[in-house]
């Protein structure tokens, strides 16, 4: 996607190159009498500018892993370093603060507020920061421009297609200029052409330097990433670079256009 505004995504490098460093992480969930061992010794490094797709059967630990990367939950043992900071021992409050500054989330359901414009939806995460009022809107406009929605800022979710709504969700995830974008099944509710359009946005953001980790069930979607990891039974069973990865913008030229 070519956007008119070539605003830079946050690429400040503070630790050399590992944005994410996970060391022998285990995660247990206590469920009454039983104990579920959801992550069983995961070690991995993700460098700045990478674009990783995570695949694996249901129950293999993908969401548990993403929740840890996103500082929504902590490992039971092992370490997680985010930009060189060991966040595995942080309490809830400290995690929330780090999350706000460094992580952008995109989910399968777009989770937009219905009676709120694209611009206001995008501004929302800035309300939990110290960003000055004039700056909030400027950042939101910048983020919407990055995802190609500069002309839809005053639209409500009901006036936009699923793909456009997901792009607003991506803009909202970017507005605090995170170091990483995490997406759990971002194309799960979208038809195949629209899925490729979202991957075009992701490739474009990644080309501008943003580090992206996404979970997907679809092999075709995973191929747009630079690296694919496969989880099985709480472990990474496969971790490979994608060879000959397609450019989403080129693939779109070969797909029929649906009417708006």
Ligand X SMILES: Nc1ncnc2c1ncn2[C@@H]1O[C@H](COP(=O)(O)OP(=O)(O)O)[C@@H](O)[C@H]1O
Query: Under the rule (CB under 5 A), what is the footprint of Mg ion?
Result: 62-63
User: x/- contact string, 123-152, with ligand X (CB under 6 A)?
Assistant: ------------------------------
Distance of alpha carbon 181 from alpha carbon 109, whole angstroms = 16
Which residue has the closest beta carbon to Mg ion?
Answer: 63
DSSP string over 29-92: EEETTEEEEEEEEEEEEEETT-EEEEEE-TTSSHHHHHHHHTTSS--SEEEEEETTEE-TT--H
> Which residues from 64-83 bind ligand X, rule CB under 6 A?
64
Minimal distance, residue 214 CB to Mg ion, in Å: 12
Exposure pattern of 155-191 as b/e (b: 16+ CB <10 Å)?
bbbeebebbbbbbbbbbbbbbbbbbbbbbbbbbebbe
Q: Report the Cα–Cα distance between both ends of the chain, in Å, rounded.
A: 18
Structure tokens at 104: 């952008």
Q: Of 62 and 136, which CB lies nearer to Mg ion in the complex structure?
A: 62
User: x/- contact string, 27-66, with ligand X (CB under 6 A)?
Assistant: --x-x----x-x-----------------x-xxxxxxx--
Minimal distance, residue 234 CB to ligand X, in Å: 7
106 and 182 Cβ atoms separated by less than 8 Å: yes
Minimal distance, residue 25 CB to ligand X, in Å: 12
59 binds, among ligand X, Mg ion, none (CB under 5 to 8 A by kind): ligand X
Q: Of 37 and 79, which CB lies nearer to ligand X in the complex structure?
A: 37
Structure tokens at 155: 């639209």
Q: Of 38 and 182, which CB lies nearer to ligand X in the complex structure?
A: 38
Residues of this chain that bind ligand X (CB under 6 A): 29, 31, 36, 38, 56, 58-64
């Amino acid at each position: 996607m070519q956007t008119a505004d070539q605003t830079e995504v946050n690429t400040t490098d503070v630790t050399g190159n590992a944005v994410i460093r996970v060391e022998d992480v285990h995660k247990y969930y206590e469920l009454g009498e039983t104990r579920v061992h959801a992550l069983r010794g995961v070690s991995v490094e993700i460098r700045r500018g990478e674009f990783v797709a995570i695949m694996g059967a249901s129950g293999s630990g993908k969401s548990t892993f993403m929740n840890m990367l996103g500082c929504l939950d902590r490992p039971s043992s092992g370490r997680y370093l985010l930009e060189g900071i060991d966040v595995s021992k942080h309490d809830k409050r400290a995690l929330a603060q780090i999350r706000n500054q460094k992580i952008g989330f995109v989910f399968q359901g777009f989770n937009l507020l219905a009676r709120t414009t694209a611009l206001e939806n995008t501004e929302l995460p800035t309300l939990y920061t110290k960003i000055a009022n004039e700056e909030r809107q400027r950042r939101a406009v910048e983020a919407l421009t990055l995802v190609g929605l500069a002309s839809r800022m005053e639209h409500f979710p009901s006036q936009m297609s699923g793909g456009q709504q997901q792009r607003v969700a991506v803009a909202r995830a970017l507005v605090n200029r995170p170091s990483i974008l995490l997406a759990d099944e971002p194309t799960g509710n979208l038809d195949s052409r629209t899925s490729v359009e979202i991957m075009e946005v992701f490739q474009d953001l990644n080309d501008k330097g943003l580090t992206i980790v996404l979970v997907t069930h679809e092999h075709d979607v995973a191929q747009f990433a630079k690296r694919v990891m496969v989880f099985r039974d709480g472990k990474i069973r496969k971790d490979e670079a994608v060879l000959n990865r397609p450019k989403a913008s080129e693939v779109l030229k070969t797909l029929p256009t649906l009417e708006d």
